């Protein structure tokens, strides 16, 4: 029924259709797809051209019934049909994500999901499977939009992070995902590693909103709101004696002070939910053993209880400590680590990102200014970026990462400058305290070896000028002539 050309084209579609949207490969695949057809892209995006071509192919095969096809042929046509259907409904899914984010806990109406399923059923797909795809399509748009929205930044390592998160949710092979794994992902724990404030919590929250949720065709709603799936717990906020109870809950009277029943995070987590265990390096060995049991056997027992309870969600954990060191010192058990590290995802430091792509600062600042002011404001963003480039300066290491940058942006918006964070324990000499932000920045940059000689001379002359106020004095102190001093001072 399908000729050779159509088969070649549909094979390309099958490869490109549900590829990782954050991968570099994706753009190439769309281009190849359009090229297979001899489509002249003009100014059109490859995806649009590819979609148009897929529709033409599907129309040519009309009336289409998957049940009349077998083997590879059926697979190829099916993927093309899914690709087309998914893209027809992308605007509806995107609007649904926005409405659900606004509505919060109650699942909002998603009547169009019936049309999505009907379109697939009309072409011969079994109803149950068609509804499963409604869930997968929604899951794909949520993951895509949230990863793009909550994890800003265009540096290569941010791109890789988004790519890895997508891969963690959908694997590398969408067909296998739909065939075998969509309902089994709870066994795939994730471990996020990266320095403090770099965005591990933000990445975990993206995973936390990305689970598959069943679509109920009868009510025209998804079974749960995705905003309710994420259950975070920061282990460093609790004393050792309370961690177990925060994790697994306790019964009234289980210990002194347990005056009420308490539901822990494992008890609160829904079937498709995600528990986020932040600062997992804080978990004591006895707690690790209990966590290991939940991960292996999927059961836990609240403190003071005898009844086992089942856990059907997924665990995402994070630490900013050196996990190798924790394991070597015996504070982190190997069996626990191996059970958790089905997938280890690295979240890059802000310094790495800025080094790769200095423009990352503009992207993040614009996003943060919008967050603080409630609207985008280019002029304020430019002012903040200029201030931060001046102080703490381009070579500053941002030890507190994105969280520190958020504070710095607020401070600059309030009209002050940001001098950089001084680490607890770092000695601040009296002379450093007396320096202005620009002066401190200059010292830091010299220390970091980040300045060219010409710039160093210029900045030093500017420093002298701010202090002494005349070209003559600058020239005298720097041991150069007045004209050179003036040129340096006016060079910025």
Ligand X SMILES: Nc1ncnc2c1ncn2[C@@H]1O[C@H](COP(=O)(O)OP(=O)(O)OP(=O)(O)O)[C@@H](O)[C@H]1O
Bridge partners (DSSP) of residue 310 are 299
Q: How far is the CB of 406 from ligand X (least distance, A)?
A: 6
49 vs 202 by CB, closer to ligand X: 202
x/- letters, 67..106, toward ligand X (CB under 6 A): ----------------------------------------
Q: How far is the CB of 97 from ligand X (least distance, A)?
A: 18
50 vs 369 by CB, closer to ligand X: 369
69 vs 318 by CB, closer to ligand X: 318
* Beta carbons of 294 and 339 less than 8 angstroms apart: no
137 vs 230 by CB, closer to ligand X: 230
78 vs 163 by CB, closer to ligand X: 163
Alpha-carbon gap, residue 110 to 220, rounded angstroms:
5
x/- letters, 310..349, toward ligand X (CB under 6 A): ----------x-----------------------------
193 binds ligand X (CB under 6 A): no
Alpha-carbon gap, residue 42 to 111, rounded angstroms:
37
Considering only residues 11, 75, 171, 196, which one is a binding residue for ligand X as defined by CB under 6 A? 196
74 vs 152 by CB, closer to ligand X: 152
Distance of CA 2 to the CA centre of its chain: 41
Question: In a 3-state reduction of DSSP, which class is residue 128?
Answer: helix
* Beta carbons of 154 and 363 less than 8 angstroms apart: yes
Q: How many residues does the chain have?
A: 492
Q: How far is the CB of 266 from ligand X (least distance, A)?
A: 20
320 vs 457 by CB, closer to ligand X: 320
Q: How far is the CB of 187 from ligand X (least distance, A)?
A: 24
Alpha-carbon gap, residue 442 to 467, rounded angstroms:
14
202 binds ligand X (CB under 6 A): yes
x/- letters, 358..377, toward ligand X (CB under 6 A): ---------x----------
Distance of CA 134 to the CA centre of its chain: 23
x/- letters, 2..41, toward ligand X (CB under 6 A): ----------------------------------------
Task: Please list, residue by residue across 15-50, b when 16 or more beta carbons sit within 10 angstroms of its beta carbon and e when fewer do.
Answer: ebbbbbbbbeebeebbbebbebbebeeeeeebbebb
403 binds ligand X (CB under 6 A): yes
Q: How far is the CB of 350 from ligand X (least distance, A)?
A: 8
Q: How far is the CB of 364 from ligand X (least distance, A)?
A: 6
113 vs 153 by CB, closer to ligand X: 153
123 vs 353 by CB, closer to ligand X: 353
Mark the segment that binds ligand X (CB under 6 A) among 194-202, 306-314, 387-395, 443-451: 194-202
Q: How far is the CB of 147 from ligand X (least distance, A)?
A: 10
**How many residues bind to ligand X according to rule CB under 6 A?**
17
List binders of ligand X among 151-170 (CB under 6 A): 151-153
Bridge partners (DSSP) of residue 278 are 234
* Beta carbons of 212 and 145 less than 8 angstroms apart: no
41 vs 363 by CB, closer to ligand X: 363
Separation of first and last alpha carbons in the chain: 71
* Beta carbons of 140 and 134 less than 8 angstroms apart: no
Q: How far is the CB of 154 from ligand X (least distance, A)?
A: 10
List binders of ligand X among 271-300 (CB under 6 A): 278
Phi then psi for residue 297, to 5 deg, are -105, -10
Residue nearest to ligand X (CB): 199
* Beta carbons of 317 and 192 less than 8 angstroms apart: yes
Q: What is the dihedral of CA 56, 58, 59, 62, to 10 degrees?
A: 160
Sequence-separated contacts (24+) of 65-68 with Cβ below 8 Å: 65/123, 65/124, 66/123, 66/124, 66/125, 67/124, 68/1, 68/124
* Beta carbons of 332 and 380 less than 8 angstroms apart: no
Question: In a 3-state reduction of DSSP, which class is residue 307?
Answer: coil
Give the list of residues 6+ apart from residue 353 with CB closer than 8 angstroms, or none: 153, 155, 157, 158, 360
Bridge partners (DSSP) of residue 309 are 300
Considering only residues 198, 210, 352, 387, which one is a binding residue for ligand X as defined by CB under 6 A? 198
Considering only residues 197, 249, 264, 302, which one is a binding residue for ligand X as defined by CB under 6 A? 197
Instruction: Look up residue 223 and give its DSSP letter.
Output: S
289 vs 344 by CB, closer to ligand X: 344
Residue ranges binding ligand X (CB under 6 A):
151-153, 194, 196-202, 278, 320, 367, 402-403, 406
């Amino acid at each position: 029924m399908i000729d050779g050309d159509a088969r070649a084209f549909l094979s390309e579609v099958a490869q490109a259709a549900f590829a990782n949207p954050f991968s570099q490969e994706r753009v190439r695949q769309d281009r190849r797809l359009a090229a297979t057809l001899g489509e002249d892209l003009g100014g059109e995006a490859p995806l649009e051209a590819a979609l148009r071509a897929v529709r033409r192919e599907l129309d040519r095969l009309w009336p289409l019934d998957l049940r009349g096809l077998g083997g590879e042929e059926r697979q190829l046509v099916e993927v093309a049909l899914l690709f087309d259907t998914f893209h027809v409904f992308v605007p509806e899914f995107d609007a649904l994500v926005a409405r659900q984010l606004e509505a919060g806990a109650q699942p909002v109406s998603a009547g169009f999901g019936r049309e999505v399923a009907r379109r697939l059923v009309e072409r011969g797909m079994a109803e149950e499977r068609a509804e499963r795809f409604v869930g997968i399509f929604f899951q794909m748009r949520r993951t895509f939009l949230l990863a793009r929205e909550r994890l800003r930044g265009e540096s290569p390592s941010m791109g890789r992070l988004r790519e890895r998160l997508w891969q963690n949710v959908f694997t590398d092979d969408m067909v296998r995902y739909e065939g075998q794994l969509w309902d089994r992902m709870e066994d795939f724990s994730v471990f996020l590693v990266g320095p403090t404030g770099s965005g591990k919590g933000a990445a975990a929250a993206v995973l936390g909103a990305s689970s598959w949720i069943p679509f109920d065709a009868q009510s025209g709603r998804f079974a749960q709101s995705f905003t309710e799936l994420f259950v975070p717990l920061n282990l460093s906020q609790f004393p050792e004696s309370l961690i177990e109870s925060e994790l697994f809950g306790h019964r009234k009277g289980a210990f002194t002070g347990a005056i009420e029943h308490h539901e822990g995070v494992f008890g609160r987590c829904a079937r498709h939910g995600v528990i986020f265990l932040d600062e997992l390096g804080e978990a004591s060995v006895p707690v690790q053993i209990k966590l290991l049991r939940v991960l292996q056997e999927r059961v836990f027992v609240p403190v003071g209880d005898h009844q086992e309870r089942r856990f059907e969600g997924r665990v995402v954990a994070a630490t900013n400590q050196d996990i190798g060191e924790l394991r070597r010192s015996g504070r982190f058990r190997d069996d626990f680590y191996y059970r958790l590290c089905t997938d280890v995802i690295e979240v890059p430091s802000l310094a790495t990102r800025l080094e790769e792509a200095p423009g990352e600062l503009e992207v993040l600042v614009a996003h943060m200014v919008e967050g603080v002011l409630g609207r985008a404001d280019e002029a304020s963003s430019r002012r903040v970026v200029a201030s931060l480039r001046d102080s703490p300066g381009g070579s500053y290491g941002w030890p507190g990462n994105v969280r520190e940058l958020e504070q710095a942006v607020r401070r600059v918006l309030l009209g002050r400058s940001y001098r950089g964070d001084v680490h607890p324990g770092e000695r601040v000499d009296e002379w450093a305290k007396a320096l202005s932000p620009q002066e401190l920045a200059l010292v830091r940059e010299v220390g970091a070896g980040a300045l060219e000689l010409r710039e160093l001379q210029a900045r030093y002359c500017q420093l002298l000028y701010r202090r002494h106020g005349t070209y003559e004095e600058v020239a005298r102190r720097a041991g150069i002539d007045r004209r050179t001093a003036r040129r340096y001072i006016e060079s910025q």
